[in-house]
Structure 1
Amino acid sequence: MNPHFALPAHGVQRAVGLALALAIAGSWLGLHAYAMFVFELTWTNWPYALVMAVVQCWLSVGVFIVCHDAMHGTLVPGRPRVNGAIGTVLLALYAGFGWKHLRDAHLAHHRLAGHPGDPDFDENNPADFVRWYATFFRRYFGWRSILYVHTVVGIYWLVIGIPMAQIVLLYGMPALGSSLQLFYFGTFRPHCHREGQPFADRHNARSNDFGTLASLATCFHFGYHLEHHHRPDVPWWALPAAKRAGVGEVELAARVPA
């Protein structure tokens, strides 16, 4: 660990983490409810609907990042049951995902990052975005998620009577878009193989050079990926500070002879 970077006390982390999680998840659920049950899509208000879809896509990314922190126990430090409960509920609402399956897969990713056996990595297509994403999608979007999404869409369309165009634009597209956003900024860019650009260390990861606002907008700072692999105990909202403190350079510096 970087001796020059310290996290706040657990009590502060819990307060900040829970407040941000409530804001993100609450906004996500609130916007979804408005988009499905209040808003009426017409030819005149489709630009507004498109803006809502973009915002909902970003909030969906945020919900998954909250769940990701729960997997590492950094959402509510020292409270594994609370982390598990929050992660279970939000992952189920996100796409019918199972908490234990995703948590175990993500921890395996940290152990095997960029090596055979890493569930997030496509060793046969380490530089091909489309094929790698297809592999990624097949591994995580299983029968449980398919059943969940079809059930939700069926109820919205056939029971409640929400137009299919509205469901696709304001539910389907944000969900699919968030998966692409998470994959591109949180998996492909950090872990893809680039000719002439070797990885810094055993984590087989690199960080983007975005500023704080761009990093937040693209993937809730998950693009500061080498910092995350070096310090998985750092919650998403503290990753910019970790990057400024040089957390991503610690292991590389340790390998250079004095």
Structure 2
Amino acid sequence: MAAGVIGAWAALHVFAVWRLDAPAHPLLAVLCLIGLTWLSVGLFIVAHDAMHGAVAPGRPRLNAAVGALALALYAGFSWRKLIVKHMAHHRHAGTDDDPDFGRGGPVRWYAGFVRTYFGWREFWVLGSAVILYALILGPRWPYVAFWAVPSILASMQLFVFGTWLPHRPGHDDFPDRHNARSTRVSDPLSLLTCFHFGGYHHEHHLHPSVPWWRLPSTRRTRA
């Protein structure tokens, strides 16, 4: 499943950047942008599963390699930095010690979310990639959109469906100490929004080693 997500993103990215004449085919360009945004969410979810050892159970080095690759393709993120922060999120979910938790409305919370995970490393990695593409491809402006824009849109999607909706306080009571709730949408919508990490977020906190594609079965098993 991880190879499928990474391979699909790579194939669509290569097509959109290297083959597609976006100004001549605007509808196809928009479809590629939507597809790359969703697959960028998938890249982050693959890395997230790797953090929990779910990509290759019992093989920590392989998990780390796959997770680092997915994060590099997504936005040049550091595997070491993200795994430390994500483990802290699970230990302190919904508290002031949770690096993903924010106060105030969704805009302020998202701004803090971006500051936490996007720093100079990511700026230089993405900037260098854009410059390299410019040197190779020349003045074809659309290629910038097919990496930077999907990454930004995917961060918003991940934040809304994977962090804000599951962990925002005051909306309704949390079921337990994990301070996490599932959004209880249909399985197709759960898959489209955040690879099941919105629709089954509480289940993920209960069973962090379960990969994204098996999360729906955890609720059926408990039922």
Aligned partner of 1:23 in structure 2 is 4
Larger radius of gyration: 1
**1: CA distance, partners of 2:32 / 2:112:** 29
Summarize deviations over 1:75-120 as a string: whole Å, max 9, x none.
Answer: 1101101001111122122111111110110010000000011110
Gaps of 5+ in 2: none
Aligned partner of 2:50 in structure 1 is 70
Aligned partner of 1:110 in structure 2 is 90
Aligned partner of 1:236 in structure 2 is 212
- Please give the root-mean-square deviation of Cα atoms over the aligned residues, in Å: 1.3
**Alignment partner of 1:225 is 2:205:** no
Does the CA contact (< 8 Å) of 2:182 and 2:201 recur in 1?
yes
SS at structure 2 position matched to 1:147: helix
Gaps of 5+ in 1: 1-19, 248-258
**1: CA distance, partners of 2:119 / 2:34:** 25
Q: Map 1:96-175 to 2 at 5 A.
A: 96-122=76-102, 124-125=103-104, 128-164=105-141, 166-175=142-151
Summarize deviations over 1:52-76 as a string: whole Å, max 9, x none.
Answer: 1001100111111111000000111
**1: CA distance, partners of 2:34 / 2:186:** 21
SS at structure 2 position matched to 1:198: coil
Aligned partner of 1:53 in structure 2 is 33
Structure 1 moving runs of 4+ over 6 Å: none
- Say which of 85, 89, 94 aligns to 2:74: 94
**TM-score when normalising by structure 2:** 0.95
Cα gap change, 1:66 to 1:162, in 2 (>3 Å): farther
Shift of 1:172: 2.0
Shift of 1:162: 4.7
SS at structure 2 position matched to 1:245: helix
Shift of 1:153: 1.2
Summarize deviations over 1:145-204 as a string: whole Å, max 9, x none.
Answer: 00011111112224421522x134322221111111111100000001134x12111111
**1: CA distance, partners of 2:137 / 2:82:** 31
Which amino acid counterpart does residue 66 of structure 1 have in structure 2?
V
Count of matched residue positions in the alignment of Structure 1 and Structure 2: 222
**2: CA distance, partners of 1:64 / 1:162:** 30
Does the CA contact (< 8 Å) of 1:220 and 1:237 recur in 2?
yes
**Alignment partner of 1:190 is 2:171:** no
**2: CA distance, partners of 1:31 / 1:245:** 36
Aligned partner of 1:201 in structure 2 is 176
**TM-score when normalising by structure 1:** 0.83
Does the CA contact (< 8 Å) of 2:17 and 2:143 recur in 1?
yes
**1: CA distance, partners of 2:82 / 2:176:** 25
Q: Map 1:31-42 to 2 at 5 A.
A: 31-42=12-23
Does the CA contact (< 8 Å) of 2:51 and 2:67 recur in 1?
yes
Aligned partner of 1:84 in structure 2 is 64
**1: CA distance, partners of 2:158 / 2:7:** 20
